[in-house]
Structures are given as C-alpha cells and as structure tokens.
Amino acid sequence: MSDESDIAFPGLDLPATATAPAAYRVLARKYRPASFDALLGQDAMVQTLGNAIARGRLAQAWLLTGVRGVGKTSTARIIAKALNCIGPDGQGGPTISPCGQCEPCTAIAAGRHIDVVEMDAASNTGVDDVREIIEGVRYAAVSARYKIHIIDEVHMLSKAAFNALLKTLEEPPPGVKFIMATTEVNKVPATILSRCQRFDLKRIPADMLAGHFARILDAEGVAAEADALALIARAAEGSVRDGLSILDQAIAHSGETITAAAVRDMLGLADRSAVRDLFGQVLAGDVPGLMAAIARQYDLGQDPAQLLRELLDLVHGITRQRMAPRHDPALSAEEQAALDNWAKALGFPRLSLLWQMLLKGLEEVNQAPVPLQAAEMALLRLCHAADLPDPGSLIRQLQQDRSPEAGARAPAPGPATTSAPVAATAGPAAATLPADFATLVALFRQRGEARLAHYLHDEIRLIACTPPSLSLAATGLPGDVKAAIATCLAGWTGTKWHVEWHADGGGPTLREIEIAEGKALIEKMKSDPVVAALKAAFPDAEDPVPLARSA
C-alpha cells in the first residue's frame, strides 16, 4: 500500500483541464513513520537492527509482534528500505538510516517495488498462497539488493500453510528475507518462532503519545488544550494509530481548537473533576450529594458503567501513588495533588476494599436491567462502608477483646513468640533451658533447623515437657529425626536431654492447636455486629480458612 499521495488510477492520463482536488488522507496514514528516527518508543529494536546491519549479521527472518497500532507494518517497510537503500548517489549500502530519496526507497514507500512483496495473511490463508511465495523465492531479485516478503497478520495462516513455509523460512535462497507481523504471537507455531528473530514492539507511553500528537497538530495548524491531548493519549491505550484516529475525530468535532470538554463529550468520558468530587462524597458518606451527582452525570449522558470504570481508574491511581509514588506528566497539577492527598489519607486495606466493591458494582451494572439503579446501589454500599473499620483494625479489636482464658493459652510458635531466653552465645554457662514445648520448637526455628521444626510443629505430639526431659509421640518419622532432636538440644543448651518416644498418646500438635484457635476466632468474629452486617451486605462472601503459622 502506498504511503505517498493517493492516486486512484495510476498510469491514467487525465485531461489537463480536469484537476481533481487532492484526496484527504487520515492522520494515521499521513504521519506514518518512514524511518527509524520517526518510530516511537522502540529504541531497543532499532539498536539491535542497527548493530546487525552495521556488522552484516542479518537474520533470514524477523517476526514483529505487539498490540495494534504500534508500528509493526511500518517497521517492516522501514527494514525493507534499510536493506535495499543505495543512497542519493547510488553508491550506498544497507543502513539503519535509509535516505528516502533513492529509487528503492521511494518505490518501497509507494508500494510498487517489484522485489518487496507484501501479503495479507488474513485474506491469503491457504497453502496455495504460501506456495506462490515458495515459487517466487527461487528467482533472484530484479533490481534490489534483497528480495523481501512481508507477511502481515501471519497468525492467520492455516496449519498446512505454516508447514509449507518451514523449509523455505529456515534456509531461504541467498538474498531473500522474510518479515512477519502479528498481533497474536501465541497463535504462531513454535516451529516458526524458532526460525525467526523476534521483536516485541512496546505500547507507547501516554506522555510520549501526547507529545507526538502536539507536534502533529502544530504541523496541521490546529490548537489543542494539554488536557485534551492527555485524554486522547490515555484513550489510545498505547496505540499510535488508535490515537491518531481519535485525534482526527477530535479535529472534526472541535474545529480549530480541541478542548478537553469536547474530547470527553466525544468519547463519552466522565468529567474527571466530577469523578473526583463523586469519590470525595463517597468517602465523606454524603448520600444526598452523591445521589444528586449521579443524577447530574446521567443527565449529561454519562454511561453508569463508564462512571464506575472512571472510579476504578481513580482508586487504582491512588493505590499506585501510595505504594510507588511518582509524578505522572499526563495528569494536571490539580489531579496530581488530589492523588497525593488521598494516597496519604487512605491506607491500602481501605483502597483494596473500595476496589473490590467497585469491581463487584461494575459487574452488577453490566448485568442489571436498569444500569443506573445498579450504579446507585453500588455507590450507596461504598458510602455505607466508608465509616467501617478496615479488616486489619477489626481483627486487632477482636484480638484485644479475647477472654483471659484464651490469652492464657500457650503461645503459638512464630516470629512473635521466639523471644525465649535462649542465649546467642555458645557454651553451657550462657544457655537457658526452654520454658515450654512451644519455646523449644521456636528454638529450632531460630537456629535454622527448619526441617526438625516442621516435624515438631506439625507431626509430633507432646506427652510431657519437663526440661531437660521430653516425652513425645509420633509415627512414620524419618530415622534420623529422633536422634537429631536430642543432639541439637544438647549442643544448644549444654545439657544432656532425655527424650522418650511413644507410638501413640499425647495431645494435639501445635499446628492443630493453631487451627482450632483460628476457628474459634472466626466464630467470635462472626458474632460481632459489624461482621454480621458485612455478611448481610455480601451474602455470597465466604468465611476465611484458618491457617497455622508456617513452621
């Protein structure tokens, strides 16, 4: 396909009086990159190809993969020009910077070079189409240095077509190169992938896209607000072609100046300031203000599902700002300040709860017969949850309310209970015997004997513990475990230990004790009014599974 001026009927001589106006070309075609310098965001690939060309280490086939609109087909054409460029004086060789002026460069750009053949695999999927390529590669290039076959959307080829291509792709004749492009590399057989050099083209960052759009608008003589370009860049989702299509539409929609309000109206996006106000009302529990704001957005034509998606995007942005602070150039100063303030004020448990509830609400909106009602109910639940304690605070409160009997139980072995008076220095004089069995197990963990600690914690039952004597019950232990336990205790405490072993008897293992305590805590939590209210609000929620501490 030509990248030069559109000619409806090339070769047709029109009368001199018939001067048809030049056809309009969309921005995505008009500003298609013609050199690696104009290619956005693919520096790693350009460097690799440049080094390969400079050193004469050219592969027989390249596979370009990436999402739509990141430059796969454009890159294929640029590679074809780079390999066949002869320079303005006709004496040049392969170069990473094709001149764009010589006959090979201009012919490839116009799509009329006889030695550069493009095939759309989406409409040429069969083995017969590939057979034409195989027959064609037998003949040397007519005028170019390399005969190049560009296969777009290569994943659409049939299994038989892929198999027919294998041998030619692995050992093509001298002077023949293959360049393949695909958006779904997972559908390309491994036998094809192994014969190609693969380049994964990246999504283009939003700030880079916004700068690119600004330069294009300067060339087109169109003014635009910075917020408008940021909105278009975000909507493009890393695709240059998608962004340019939206930009084309925005120019037609807005006229000489593209405003953020016009772009929001055109794309059906909520006003971001209105979304921030809505989020603030949710956090404040302002139900009347929230309901009025939802109705106002609905009257303006805002889709309820899109409104919840905008709130999800805001919660995600706040969470990222809290966990990994950064300055986003695509955000206005007002938006950045709002994100910073909320990131400081909201903890991760609260943000995670908001995210889960909004996600559940969005699912309900998409399924509800009246989406507006579902959106209102979802946001009302958020208001109700705004003044609830987060799960961590609730658990700490319940733990503080535990009965003295529960608090008097033997401490479970874990990082918080490993503070037994076991001396760090070696020698009998500095050692103190463990006070109880849980402390003894913690000693094994502290000394790095994780294997023995596991058996003591999960599989061995205590009959009696009167240091330096132990009476234990277990079956099926490895032969070295029993002796190793006594040896380790003697070495660490400087005292000989007497350890008796029995086949049965004893109480529950420490692991079983911890699981039982966890179940009791869950039952107590379920009787709490706050938890009962949460269960009523989310009847499908499952009870947590009590887990023992890792040994």
Could you read off the pLDDT of 219-234 as tens digits, one per residue?
Answer: 888 899 888 888 888 8
Ranges of H-type helices in 185-303: 190-193, 206-220, 226-236, 240-254, 260-267, 272-284, 287-299
| Percent over 90 (pLDDT), the chain | 17
Q: What is the pLDDT of residue 422?
A: 35
What are the CA-CA distances from residue 323 to residues 334, 342, 344, 347 (Å)? 20, 12, 10, 10
Residue 10 reports pLDDT greater than 70: no
Residue 416 reports pLDDT greater than 60: no
* Phi, psi dihedral angles at 149 (to 5 degrees): -110, 120
Q: What is the pLDDT of residue 407?
A: 46
Confidence of residue 528 (pLDDT cuts 50, 70, 90): confident
Q: Pairing between strand 461-466 and 469-473?
A: antiparallel
Q: What is the pLDDT of residue 270?
A: 59
Residue whose structure tokens are 């090979």: 104
Q: What is the pLDDT of residue 410?
A: 44
CA 375 to chain centre: 27
Residues of the chain with CATH 1.20.272.10: 272-385
CATH architecture assigned to 31-200:
3-Layer(aba) Sandwich (3.40)
CA count, 13 A, side-chain hemisphere, 167: 5
Q: Which residue has the higher pLDDT, 248 or 432?
A: 248
Nearest CA to 479 among 455, 450, 457, 509? 455
Residues of the chain with CATH 3.40.50.300: 31-200
Yes or no: say if 533 and 464 are a contact pair by the CB < 8 Å rule.
Answer: no
Residue 374 reports pLDDT greater than 90: yes
Q: Which fold has domain 272-385?
A: Zinc Finger, Delta Prime; domain 3 (1.20.272)
206-222: per-residue pLDDT in tens?
A: 888 999 999 999 988 88
Structure tokens at 403: 């009965």
Q: What is the pLDDT of residue 29?
A: 87
